[in-house]
Amino acid sequence: MKSKMNQLFEDKKCVHVLYSYNGMKSYIEQAVSFIQDGIEAGDYVIVIENERVYPVIHKELNTRLTEDQMEFVHFVNNFDFYYSSGSYHPPAITDYFNKMVQPYVENKISFRSWAHVEWSTMEDPLHLIEDFEKIVDEAVNLLSFPLICAYKNEEMPDYLTRILMETHPYVLVEDDCIVSEQYQEVNNKQNA
């Protein structure tokens, strides 16, 4: 995620990226690099992460960043974030997100976000993820910030993979960010 990803973020502030990861070691490295690169670029970094995984990320960041730089990292428990209403409910998640980023937006503070998307079972209807990712894609463009959505590859059925490729304009593959040819831009003007 080194130079090509950073170049993309510099060239285009509103970047919505899918990261379908395999293995926790590479996941941690990608997350840490994204956070470190963001802080070095002058951004605050909102890390929406599992409370069991975040301490590993935090420990690695402590070896790479100063105490002052660590102040730019803001942890949000991903279970609280995605299930703030008691279930995976896109409008409630959107409200939670808007309240969380409001101080950055109001004060014109540059930020980026890393979101580890997990669910306890596959019983949640997958169309809710599609609805949410469409809302997120609009928010990324409206608020002009970079966002990586990380999903565990081996837990994604083909239907979900298709949804995610259609709702993310970019895909992180190893250390490179490629354009998703399946991406379908949401056009709300037709719905108005």
Q: State pLDDT tens for residues 142-171.
A: 999 999 999 998 878 888 899 999 999 999
Domain ranges of the chain: 3-190
Q: Determine the average pLDDT of the residues in 27-37.
A: 95
pLDDT above 50 for 192: no
Percentage of residues in the chain having pLDDT higher than 90: 64
Q: What Cα–Cα distance (Å) separates residue 113 from each residue in 18, 104, 158?
A: 12, 12, 26
Task: Give the type of residue at 55.
Answer: P
- Cα-based angle 131, 135, 96 (whole degrees, multiple of 5): 105
Q: How is domain 3-190 classified at the architecture level of CATH?
A: 3-Layer(aba) Sandwich (3.40)
Give the model's confidence band at 191: pLDDT under 50 very low, under 70 low, under 90 confident, else very high.
very low
What is the reported pLDDT for 1?
42
Give the model's confidence band at 87: pLDDT under 50 very low, under 70 low, under 90 confident, else very high.
confident
What is the reported pLDDT for 189?
37
Biggest alpha carbon–alpha carbon distance for the chain: 50
What is the value of pTM for the model shown?
Answer: 0.90
What is the reported pLDDT for 2?
45
| 164 Cβ contact list (under 8 Å, min separation 6) | 18, 20, 129, 133, 149, 151, 156
pLDDT above 50 for 55: yes
Q: Determine the average pLDDT of the residues in 4-19.
A: 81
The sign of the CA dihedral 118, 166, 168, 91 is negative
What is the reported pLDDT for 3?
52
Q: Determine the average pLDDT of the residues in 70-92.
A: 89
